[in-house]
Amino acid sequence: MPKEPPLLEASSIGKQFPGVRALHNVNLTLFQGEILSLVGENGAGKSTMMKLLAGIHLPDDGAIKLNGDLVEITNVREAQKYGIALIHQELNLSDNLDIAANIFLGNEPHKNGVMDHNRIHRESAQFLKRVGLEFPTDTLVADLTIGHQQLVEISKALSVDARIIIMDEPTSSLSQKESKKLFEVIRGLKSQGISIIYISHRLGEVIDLSDRVSVLRDGENAGELVGDEITHDAMVKLMVGRDLSQFYNRTVTALGEKIFEVKGLRTPPYPDNEISFSVRSGEILGIAGLVGAGRTELLQTIFGITPAVGGSMKLNGKELMPKSSLEAIDSGIVLAPEDRKRHGLILEMNVRENTSLARLSRDQKVGIIDFNNEYELAEKTIKELKIKTPHSSQVVQYLSGGNQQKVVLGKWLSMNPSLLLLDEPTRGIDIGSKQEIYKLMEELAASGVAVIFVSSEMEEVLGMADRVLVMHEGAVTGDLSREQLNEEAVMQLATGNKAAA
């Protein structure tokens, strides 16, 4: 551990968004040539923290010191000036330009407005060498793999003399081979004296790579681990605030009949892949996979939002192939979508109106809303799901993520579904609500509902599922029972490595 004064020191950082306290009294230090991993669950505040450092947001409270000097980073340009570069999870490259043009985008060396092409290509080649990317600098970015594009992003950071490179989930869409290559590059950068802040959900990578780990939980510091302290269990414990075994306290109930069966289902984005699986009543089926594996699309097809292009489905012994969400709902399938704000809720409507939205057509009398009934339904839902809201007339956009998700679930539970589809049910939700949602999933399963949930959080998949389907590029690459479940196996399948199963 280097003991000289830290390169970067952020203290007592606070940040507020409408309705959400994103960060509170967060401290973070970074030394030169250090790889610091920042871990925490979704919504813990990692991305917000990084955006503050990169000048995308401004902190409400706290101070940031660079080399001991107090600085104020008000925009991205300024962050660049201080040598801080953020590489987003979704890359910000222009596909239609070549590597060199991307590296110098916005910083083109020029004479009176005329670009110095030779210099751009000459210097780009040097940066590519530093990250070990052996491509001509005039290669179009569109022709590169994601992994190589990532390296171009890093070269871009180097081109502005970045001393601190922040990487937000860089491996989320990389193959294992590509990830390994990236780690080599990161270690190389470290040896060149560059400091890295590495954000990842993949704790295995974090253990391999990090000098130090800082854990965030609910927008606050949860703890710090150095060297040998960095273990899987230790990190998870800090992330969730208690032992994992307690957190996912899954009591497996006896499974009932097969109630939902999918045969040869083909979804519009992957019309060549046939998907088949079944779920029993009382079963919780997890679907794991990388971003873009086709999990969300599968749920949307089952729910009738993007009708299937082939195959068959059977629910409670009855054939069905919903062409609209209304058909799916009517036959007992409901979906709590991944993007709560865009798909799950009518944000500007209140809790009452959101909980009743799907039920209205059942409770109406000649089209007229029964307001008493609606009110009672809302009050009941608020009570049963412990939704924290001052009253049922509160507009849902002012609720916290967890409570918003409960409203979505409340809406569907009142419909007494046979099959509950959950897409990333706990994304961006505080720990407390998270646990309540898990409990709810269990209770529903116990009452005979079949639950299918998609999750990108390994802990959640491992902890909650009775069985896990793993998807890769629109196809099911594995079907793991609870006994076969482990992180390694899921990762192998999710990256398309079938042999691992």
Measured between alpha carbons, how far is 294 from 494 in angstroms, rounded to an integer? Answer: 11
DSSP H helical ranges for 10-87: 46-53, 76-81
**Which residue, 231 or 361, is less far from another protein as judged by CB?**
361
Among positions 398-417, residues that touch another protein (CB under 8 A) are 398-400, 411
For the chain, the straight-line distance linking the first and the last C-alpha, in angstroms and rounded, comes to: 40
Does 92 bind another protein (CB under 8 A)? Our answer is no
Minimum Å gap between C-beta 353 and another protein is 7
Q: Which residue is listed with tokens 């898990």?
A: 438
CA 101 to chain centre: 30
Helix, coil or strand: residue 245: helix
Among positions 183-212, residues that touch another protein (CB under 8 A) are none
Does 499 bind another protein (CB under 8 A)? Our answer is no
Spatial CB neighbours of 327, under 8 Å, sequence gap ≥ 6: 304, 320
From the list 39-47, 242-250, 273-281, 361-369, the region that binds another protein by CB under 8 A is 361-369
The one-character DSSP state at 15 is E
Among positions 316-355, residues that touch another protein (CB under 8 A) are 324-326, 328-330, 335, 337, 342-349, 353
**Which residue, 291 or 369, is less far from another protein as judged by CB?**
369
Minimum Å gap between C-beta 337 and another protein is 6
Sign of CA dihedral 464, 465, 468, 469: negative
From the list 13-21, 182-190, 284-292, 450-458, the region that binds another protein by CB under 8 A is 13-21
Minimum Å gap between C-beta 275 and another protein is 21
Residue from 58, 226, 252, 369 binding another protein (CB under 8 A): 369
User: In whole angstroms, how far apart are CA 325 and each of 28, 162, 271, 358?
Assistant: 46, 49, 20, 10
Minimum Å gap between C-beta 82 and another protein is 30
Minimum Å gap between C-beta 332 and another protein is 12
Does 21 bind another protein (CB under 8 A)? Our answer is yes
| 3-state per-residue secondary structure call for 354-372 | HHHCCCHHHHCECCECCHH
Minimum Å gap between C-beta 402 and another protein is 11
User: In whole angstroms, how far apart are CA 102 and each of 138, 221, 472?
Assistant: 10, 36, 30
Measured between alpha carbons, how far is 417 from 333 in angstroms, rounded to an integer? Answer: 6
From the list 68-76, 238-246, 311-319, 391-399, the region that binds another protein by CB under 8 A is 391-399
Minimum Å gap between C-beta 11 and another protein is 19
DSSP string, 403-415: HHHHHHHHHHHTT
Measured between alpha carbons, how far is 142 from 149 in angstroms, rounded to an integer? Answer: 9
User: Nearest to residue 159, comparing CAs of 98, 109, 116, 94?
Assistant: 109
**Which residue, 346 or 446, is less far from another protein as judged by CB?**
346
Give me the residues that bind another protein (CB under 8 A), please: 16, 18-21, 24, 303, 305, 324-326, 328-330, 335, 337, 342-349, 353, 357-358, 360-361, 364, 367-369, 390, 395, 398-400, 411
